[in-house]
Chain A
């Protein structure tokens, strides 16, 4: 057995509080309340342990990380530990004074989400009036502050025709990178799937737009493109493999191989309140459960892609088959591939109404 590589990234979900209500949010349906959040001292300890363990990049996320009053302090702690810091934000609370403080604290990169190129529809999707205008303002402030900027456009059937306009916005705002990110059906996106899933034709249109734009924008804006694997024939190497590259910490301190893994039954996830990050990475049964290839059923076990896609996504296998150890149904070799095809075929002609991400619609937690 080969030695365990150190993790590369830590995703710190600082909170589940968020002023937006995006129906595709990957947070769990059981949103954690602010009273249950980790305190600053614990986060600082986790960052120290992460750096010592070999984590190179810190992704500050949530919910909306800028609602945390200790955000600047945590960015500063990360910078002093040599951790590259990436703020993943809606941008609606990101004003110039906060941005200046974050820049001075050593923040490396900001990623701002956008819900559409058309302001009214963007605000409707995010459930936040005036959100789109604030995001554009925040993006300008980021480039003014000299920080690297990525714009992340989440794409689905209700904005899919405006990808060209989205790319124009990225170019006009001087973003170094733009992500055209098709929705992945986890968390809140799963119950909203019928309102979001694009048709095959719509997806192909976006792919063509992106490929043409890549030529046009080469050397100016890097385009990262993520396709929905409901239309794929091969699964994605989810998180670079279970317990291989990333650790996610939830707002209450639970350590997960991915931000969706809390949905899997039968796994006891460790808490940073009780264990060090190193012990969690090396010895946690939950992290070992689907690490590597020895857990794989056929056809994965004999497949020559097994150390490329690492068996795809366990959470998707569970969501669609009820068994987290089955082959990811997104794979055409999966005996359950028909469930994906059925979901695509079952898509209604008109989108269902959104179930907005808000505490009132959330499930109970165990906090």
Chain B
């Protein structure tokens, strides 16, 4: 479901936090962890279980000063990928 009214949230048992030792943001999940790149960090920072996909795209289009359509494509792709991996879920409205 990637209609812009959808709300992404971290799945159960997934944590997103800053690691002081590596000085990097980390995603911690069951049997999996990764260090997201700068773009992914910017997106994940806005995933709070409240903001809609549309709101996230709006926010990033402003902060990256990029065309909304381009941002929308990147964000949707990334979030869909993370949902498939079980890191994110789509909250029901």
A contact residues vs B (CB 8 Å cutoff): 6, 8, 52-54, 56-57, 82, 84, 86, 108-109, 111, 146-148, 150, 176-177, 179, 218-219, 222, 224
Contact = CB atoms under 8 A, between A and B. Distances in A.
27 contacts: A6-B21, A8-B33, A53-B21, A54-B19, A54-B21, A56-B19, A56-B28, A82-B17, A84-B15, A84-B33, A86-B31, A108-B15, A108-B30, A111-B30, A146-B12, A147-B13, A148-B12, A148-B13, A150-B30, A176-B13, A176-B86, A177-B30, A177-B31, A179-B31, A219-B83, A222-B86, A224-B31
Contacts, number: 54
A108 B17 CA distance: 14
Interface string B1-41: 00000000001111101010110001011110100000000
Contacts of B83: 219
Nearest to B15: A84
Contacts of A219: 83-84
Given A111-B31, A148-B11, A148-B13, 20 more contacts: A6-B21, A57-B28, A57-B33, A84-B28, A84-B33, A86-B30, A86-B31, A109-B30, A111-B30, A147-B12, A148-B14, A148-B30, A150-B30, A176-B13, A176-B30, A177-B30, A177-B31, A179-B31, A218-B84, A222-B86
Nearest to A152: B31
A240 to B, nearest CB: 11
A52 B83 CA distance: 31
A111 B85 CA distance: 17
Give the contact-size bracket for chain B: 10 to 19
A193 B5 CA distance: 54
Contact of A176 (B12, B22, B26): B12
A219 B11 CA distance: 12
B1 to A, nearest CB: 10
Contacts of A56: 19, 26, 28, 33
Nearest to B90: A219
B22 A6 contact: yes
A148 B11 CA distance: 8
A149 B19 CA distance: 25
Nearest to B28: A84
Nearest to B21: A54
A111 B13 CA distance: 12
A127 B26 CA distance: 40
B30 to A, nearest CB: 4
Contacts of A146: 12
A37 to B, nearest CB: 26
A47 B45 CA distance: 28
A150 B31 contact: yes
Contacts of B84: 218-219
Give 8 nearest A-B pairs by CB, closest first. A148-B13, A54-B21, A84-B28, A222-B86, A109-B30, A109-B13, A148-B12, A108-B13
